[in-house]
Amino acid sequence: MPDIFVQNLSFTEFKLIGFHELGEWRPVLFIPYFLMFLLSILANSVLLYIIISNKALHSPMFVLIGLMAVVDLCGPMLFVPHMLLSLLFEWNGISLLGCLLQMLCIHYSGSCQCTLLLCMALDRYFAICRPLFYHKHMEISNFVKLIIVPLIRNVVLITTVVCLAGLQSYCVTNVIDHCFCEHMALVQLACGDISINNLVGLLTTILVPTVDFFFITVSYIIIFISVLKSGKAHLKAMNTCITHIIVITFTISFALIAFMSYRIRNDFSPSSRVFLSTMYLLFPSCCNPIIYGLRTKEIRHHFLKLIKHVKMISM
């Protein structure tokens, strides 16, 4: 009887109320988030167009930048429009199925971003430290072999996390103190034991962003050592690498702090936790087109040509 009663109480509709602590000031957040969303969409769309339309930019490095632009384009679309409607009009309802699908897509998008950052670090490693073997290691067949294992890892772990969340009954409340369906934000509303969900979520955090960040760090340490030994030969490449490291560090730090804030006692307010979660998805989407696009000489050259072409047409 108790199990049937709990099952009957299980919510299938939820409300996302992120930043509710701000009260009447909550709609003001629409402006910065809308501007960041607009920047992300425009910048990544232009970057993707430049890479696709120019055959000279179809080498491995630019293919990786293009794939990153696709991920950065899709990521914000999965939650920002719904969040903006919630901030402005209080349209914050979402079904359990919609919540689980959003969780699957958002976390898979985030894991793909980590994997692509790892591939970019390896690309820079071969370009700077092993230039003679660059084309051998980075050709399509070898690149697919390189990326297939991390992608399978991402699919298996994140699908498991979402399926376990879907098996829970939710009877505590139907109010999610977040702007999108993050795993622990939903699971903590479950009626039953969530220790397995917590364990698998923690394992995913360790095996995806943490492991990828470790290998990214190792790659750049080797690059630094190689550049220091070679003198000024690769200083320009190093300048780009340093910018990459700053963005990677901020992105993965936001993600890890957001994930761990549900598992370790802390003084984070719910709004601070929501802010960190939105930033690990939005911050790289806004910065990556500039870091990996405009700071790359070839892409910058084609971007300036595109601007001149648009000016000529408008005249």
Whole-angstrom distance, CA of residue 243 vs CA of residue 291:
7
Whole-angstrom distance, CA of residue 194 vs CA of residue 184:
10
Stated pTM of the model? 0.85
Q: What are phi and psi of 175, to 5 degrees?
A: -105, 120
Whole-angstrom distance, CA of residue 260 vs CA of residue 276:
11
Query: What is the chain's pLDDT, residue by residue, as a tens digit (315 residues)?
Result: 444 444 456 788 999 988 888 888 889 999 999 999 999 999 999 999 999 988 888 888 888 888 889 999 998 998 999 999 999 888 889 999 999 999 999 999 888 888 888 888 888 888 888 888 777 777 777 777 778 888 899 999 999 999 999 999 998 888 998 889 988 889 989 988 899 999 998 899 889 888 888 888 898 888 888 877 776 555 665 666 777 777 777 777 777 777 777 667 667 777 888 888 888 888 888 888 887 777 777 888 878 888 887 777 766
Tokens 């690769």 locate to 234
pLDDT of residue 5: 42
Tokens 């009260």 locate to 23
Start-end of H helices in 167-234 = 183-187, 195-205, 211-230
Do residues 68 and 48 make contact, with C-beta atoms less than 8 angstroms apart?
no
Q: Residue 295: which residues within 8 A CB-CB, separation 6 or more?
A: 240, 243
pLDDT of residue 104: 93
pLDDT of residue 14: 93
Q: Residue 10: which residues within 8 A CB-CB, separation 6 or more?
A: 169, 170, 171, 191
pLDDT of residue 1: 40
Tokens 């095996």 locate to 207
Q: Which of 117, 137, 118, 116 is nearest to 126 (CA)?
A: 137
pLDDT of residue 160: 96
Do residues 121 and 68 make contact, with C-beta atoms less than 8 angstroms apart?
no
pLDDT of residue 231: 63
**Domains within the chain, CATH numbers bracketed:** 2-314 (1.20.1070.10)
Do residues 113 and 75 make contact, with C-beta atoms less than 8 angstroms apart?
yes
pLDDT of residue 239: 65
pLDDT of residue 116: 87
Q: What is the DSSP letter of 233?
A: T
